[in-house]
Amino acid sequence: MSKHGKKYRAAVEKLPANTEHELVAALTFLKENQVAKFDETAEIAFRLGVDPTKSDQSVRGTVSLPHGTGKDVRVIVFASGPAADAAKEAGAVEVGFDDLIAKVSGGWTEFDVAVATPEAMKEVRKLGKVLGPRGLMPNPKTGTVTDDTASAVNQLKAGRVEFKMDRHGNVMLPFGKLSFAVEALAENAQAAIKAVTAAKPAAVKGIYIKNITVTSSMGPGLRISAREMAA
């Protein structure tokens, strides 16, 4: 018995086997063959030619999606003083220091991104067991450890997405909603491709991006043409 529903199977049946697609055509197909009743998230996945066991081949970074993610990003900020005031004005859902650390330490994780000032990180590091497994630990490499908290909050809420390679050497990130226009989704996807390409570690030899697939929350995956990878 298939674990997928009729709409998913019907969409898959329309796809020719082992075929690569132009990006715009793939996105058009996903929009025209939506499986779920809700507004599905569009996702892009990269299979990378890296050795995930070697630290010098780790892939991590951020991308600013020109059309945002279509999601209201909940940002919390660990800070005090002027940096805390600036974060509140920028729209962080929770701002604090000792009190916020205690709240998160107690298991509260109703947020999407955490930002911290360098000073606050001395204590925030103690939250590793809570934040680490969820990929929520602030990190200087992704711009989430900074004294300019207002700028960080604004960028994150506007559509800056963090990406990180998993233990199998793959990267997957959201790049919008299927309700977006195809052109907007394509521009977001192209921004993601450029960001992951730019994050190539110097130690990686040979083919870096082996393949790219676009999909949606409940839909099938469509392999993207190699031409798109070189664009």
Over the stretch 85-97, which tens digit does the pLDDT of each residue have? 999 999 999 999 9
Full-model pTM:
0.76
Q: Rounded to whole angstroms, how far apart are CA atoms 139 and 183?
A: 32
pLDDT band (50, 70, 90) for residue 10: low
CATH superfamily for domain 75-158: Ribosomal protein L1/L10, domain II (3.40.50.790)
Q: What is the pLDDT of residue 209?
A: 94
CA distances to 102, 120, 125, 134, 189 from 129, rounded to whole Å, are: 13, 17, 9, 9, 32
CA distances to 40, 91, 169, 214 from 191, rounded to whole Å, are: 20, 25, 20, 14
Q: Rounded to whole angstroms, how far apart are CA atoms 165 and 47?
A: 10
pLDDT band (50, 70, 90) for residue 228: low
Among 230, 224, 231, smallest CA distance to 43 is for 224
How is residue 185 written in tokens? 């989704």
H-assigned helices in the chain: 6-13, 23-32, 82-90, 98-105, 118-124, 128-131, 149-158, 182-198, 226-230
Strands 170-177 and 222-223, sheet pairing: unpaired
pLDDT band (50, 70, 90) for residue 1: very low
Domains 6-68+160-230 and 75-158 share a fold: no
16: pLDDT strictly greater than 70: no
pLDDT band (50, 70, 90) for residue 171: very high
What are 22-71's pLDDT values in tens digits?
999 999 999 999 888 899 999 999 999 999 999 999 998 989 999 999 98
- Return the higher-pLDDT residue of 149 and 134: 149
Question: Any idea where the domains of the chain sit in the sequence?
Answer: 6-68+160-230, 75-158
In the CATH hierarchy, which top-level class contains the domain 6-68+160-230? alpha beta
